[in-house]
Amino acid sequence: MLNVLLIGAGQCGNRILDAVNKESFGGGKLSKYYSWQKFPTRVETIAVNTAVNDLKELKYTKAKDRIHIPYLHGVGANRNVGKQCFIDNKDYVMRAVAERGDFDVAFIATSTAGGTGSSFTPLLVSALKERYSFPIYVFAVLPFREEGTIYLQNTAFCLKELRESGAEGIILVDNQFLRHLGSDIETAYDRINEAIAERILFLFKSLDSEMMMVTDLGDFKTVMTSGIRLATVGFSRGDKEISVKSAIRNSLSSSGLLFSLDAYTESSRAMIIIEADKKYLNIDDITTEVDRLTTGAGHVFKGILVRNKAYPSVLSVLAITSGKELDNLYDAAVDAVERERRKKEDAARQVESMMGKIGKLEAQY
């Protein structure tokens, strides 16, 4: 059995973890008190945050799985404060991980944009890498673009540090791209988190199953570590009308992916895992669709899970080579850093000029 460590850092990461726990407990609000997590494999979950209120808000995550790092109420999107806070509390966090035994793989979910998760995660990955040899994958949630310059600049630096941290792969999830999932922000967050949770649970299940065509943790690593170590995932469920062929296509299209990408031209290596009853597994259709992807992506690992009476579900994992959306994001982030710098200089000039004017005067009473 696979031993998995799943950490949610900062508010966004905590909520994604909670969505995973919701699914694994079966959804009932009180189920965490009497039920066991029905993970397909052994999964230990830890939510870590500086803001106690964010942790209290979680509905499906057990109290013992919530780690509060005392720092008032979050670090207010300041990654420098966040980094220092992690360094001061590193031993505490590492002890919480060590108490949970051995792992084969770890996943960490975080936003790239806020202060806590985006600054803790690269340092946490490095700290885990110093002590353990298991691979670490990060679900990195990108902000809505209109959330402002600080979130954009945090994103650029967080992604840079994640790539330097030793993480085997970074799985991009883009709030902006997925905003259509909800008509208001809270609903969008919930739907996006559910989408991520669904993919995470499917991945856990498939990596731990006996498959007809085998894909395993090693293949997953080969896909994730190829190219620039950025990836994304897609998912689609078939039904009476949606065949395995359509489900594969949907999982590779904008309706199934978590990040805007042309799967056929912008990915290098991929993995496709299909679960279905035998009668829905038309091998010719599967081969045609996989070949279509192979033409652009180079190598595609296939996994097939046979499950009685199940309509086809398809998970795709795509390593990203390049991408229009990535370029746009980095351009916006560079612009954001510039704008922040100019604002800071303007403010400094303003203060200097005010002080200059006052400096020559004396208070009159």
Binding site for ligand GTP (CB under 6 A): 10-12, 15, 50-51, 54, 74-77, 111, 113-118, 141, 143-144, 147, 151, 175, 189, 192-193
Map residues 8-37 to x or -, x wherever contact with Mg ion holds by CB under 5 A.
Answer: ---x--------------------------
- Residue 74 engages Mg ion in binding (rule: CB under 5 A): yes
Concatenated DSSP letters of 160-205 = HHHHHTT-SEEEEEEHHHHGGG-SSHHHHHHHHHHHHHHHHHHHHH
From ligand GTP, Mg ion, none, interface partner of 258 (C-beta below 5 to 8 A by class): none
Tokens standing for residue 244: 């395995």
In the complex, the smallest distance separating the C-beta of residue 37 from ligand GTP, rounded to whole angstroms, is: 20
For residues 196 and 315, which CB has a smaller minimum distance to ligand GTP in the complex? 196
Residue whose entry in the numeric block shows the structure tokens 């795509």: 318
How long a stretch of residues is the chain? 365
Spatial neighbors of 272 by CB under 8 A, at least 6 apart, are 248, 251, 290, 293, 300, 301, 302, 303, 314, 315, 316, 317
For residues 61 and 268, which CB has a smaller minimum distance to ligand GTP in the complex? 61
From Mg ion, ligand GTP, none, interface partner of 147 (C-beta below 5 to 8 A by class): ligand GTP
From ligand GTP, Mg ion, none, interface partner of 113 (C-beta below 5 to 8 A by class): ligand GTP
For residues 271 and 336, which CB has a smaller minimum distance to ligand GTP in the complex? 336
Residue whose entry in the numeric block shows the structure tokens 């894909």: 215
- Pair 259, 112: CB distance under 8 Å: no
For residues 74 and 227, which CB has a smaller minimum distance to Mg ion in the complex? 74
In the complex, the smallest distance separating the C-beta of residue 71 from ligand GTP, rounded to whole angstroms, is: 8
Of 79, 91, 259, 243, nearest to 152 (Cα)?
Answer: 79
Spatial neighbors of 183 by CB under 8 A, at least 6 apart, are none
Tokens standing for residue 314: 């398809």
From ligand GTP, Mg ion, none, interface partner of 234 (C-beta below 5 to 8 A by class): none
CA distances from 202 to 62, 90, 246, 314 (A): 22, 31, 19, 9
For residues 86 and 280, which CB has a smaller minimum distance to ligand GTP in the complex? 86
In the complex, the smallest distance separating the C-beta of residue 167 from Mg ion, rounded to whole angstroms, is: 22
Q: Which stretch binds Mg ion (CB under 5 A): 68-76, 88-96, 118-126, 215-223?
A: 68-76
In the complex, the smallest distance separating the C-beta of residue 121 from ligand GTP, rounded to whole angstroms, is: 9
- Pair 224, 137: CB distance under 8 Å: yes
Q: What is the largest CA-CA distance in the chain?
A: 93
Q: Binding residues for Mg ion, per CB under 5 A? A: 11, 51, 74
